């Protein structure tokens, strides 16, 4: 890698880490489009993103966990469920043409953006947790998170966080911390399956990871101390813009990296 690629890779990982820590996601929604600009194909971007976001999650968990904002039992059950299905999501992605995969990702970003714009709320203090519907619900949620992660190259936090708040009664902060704990399972599971198909470009992983683990703890610390409804909406607008540009660029001939 050239010096410019290293700098760009660190910056890309840093941005993904900041997003991951601030919103309780792996950062793949930002990292995937960044990686396609590194001349990776859409499939390679998804696989390489998954190889990085597990480290992003671990870096963020340290901060959320220290503040008692991780529900470990839920994270374990949902995480185990996601491991089972992440590989199938990754296999599904490898069978779809790159153009269709890029369009699917653009639609995915648009849905996430609209969800954030319509339902974003300020951070709340940690509250008492209502008992969830049980292990079955956690496993089903984990299965859905794993499929989403493997297919889209993201951690699945955009699904896990609202599920934790709406169905399990968690505060926003606890939902984000628990989501990061789940992603620590999901990311490596999806990356493993993508790697089997040659869709992880390993030379980019170390520098991206370095940036991600630099940004994630800082953003996690900030998320625990400031209301961020405005930041959520700004992030949603960014995702929406990325969805539009990604859709328009989907018809371009994909470029490959060996």
Which of these, 130, 150, 132, lies nearest to 51 by C-alpha position? 150
How many domains in the chain?
1
Q: Is residue 9 part of a domain?
A: yes
Q: Is residue 256 part of a domain?
A: no
Segment 231-253 shows an average pLDDT of 73
Query: How is residue 113 written in tokens?
Result: 């953006």
Average pLDDT, the chain: 82
For 145-182, write each residue's pLDDT tens digit.
888 888 887 778 878 887 887 778 788 788 889 999 99
For 78-102, write each residue's pLDDT tens digit.
999 999 898 888 888 878 787 787 7
Q: Is residue 193 part of a domain?
A: yes
Q: Is residue 255 part of a domain?
A: no
- Which domain, by its residues, includes 233? 3-249
Q: Is residue 254 part of a domain?
A: no
Q: Compute the distance between CA of residue 1 and CA of residue 31 in angstroms, rounded to an integer.
A: 18
Task: Please state which of the ranges 3-7, 66-70, 144-148, 213-217 shows the lowest mean pLDDT.
Answer: 3-7
Q: Is residue 40 part of a domain?
A: yes
Q: Is residue 258 part of a domain?
A: no
Q: Is residue 146 part of a domain?
A: yes
Give percent of the chain above pLDDT 70: 86
Which of these, 208, 148, 167, lies nearest to 25 by C-alpha position? 148
Model confidence, pTM: 0.80
Q: What is the pLDDT of residue 120?
A: 57
């Amino acid at each position: 890698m050239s010096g410019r690629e290293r700098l760009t890779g660190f910056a890309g990982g840093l941005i993904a880490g900041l997003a991951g820590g601030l919103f309780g996601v792996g950062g793949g929604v930002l990292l995937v489009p960044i990686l396609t600009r590194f001349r990776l194909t859409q499939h390679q971007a998804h696989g390489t993103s998954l190889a990085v976001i597990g480290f992003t999650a671990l870096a963020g968990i340290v901060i959320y966990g220290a503040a008692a904002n991780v529900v470990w039992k839920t994270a374990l059950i949902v995480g185990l469920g996601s491991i089972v299905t992440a590989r199938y999501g990754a296999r599904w992605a490898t069978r779809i043409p790159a153009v269709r995969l890029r369009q699917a990702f653009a639609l995915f970003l648009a849905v996430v953006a609209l969800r954030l714009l319509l339902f974003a709320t300020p951070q709340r203090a940690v509250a008492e947790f209502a008992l969830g519907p049980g292990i079955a619900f956690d496993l089903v949620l984990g299965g859905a998170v794993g499929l989403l992660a493997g297919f889209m190259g993201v951690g699945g936090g955009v699904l896990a966080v609202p599920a934790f708040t709406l169905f399990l009664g968690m505060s926003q902060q606890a939902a984000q911390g628990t989501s990061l704990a789940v992603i620590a399972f999901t990311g490596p599971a999806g990356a493993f399956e993508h790697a089997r198909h040659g869709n992880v470009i390993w030379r980019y992983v170390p520098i991206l990871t370095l940036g991600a683990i630099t940004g994630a703890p800082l953003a996690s610390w900030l998320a625990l101390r400031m209301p961020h409804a405005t930041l959520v909406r700004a992030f949603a607008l960014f995702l929406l813009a990325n969805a539009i540009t990604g859709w328009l660029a989907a018809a371009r001939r994909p470029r490959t990296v060996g």
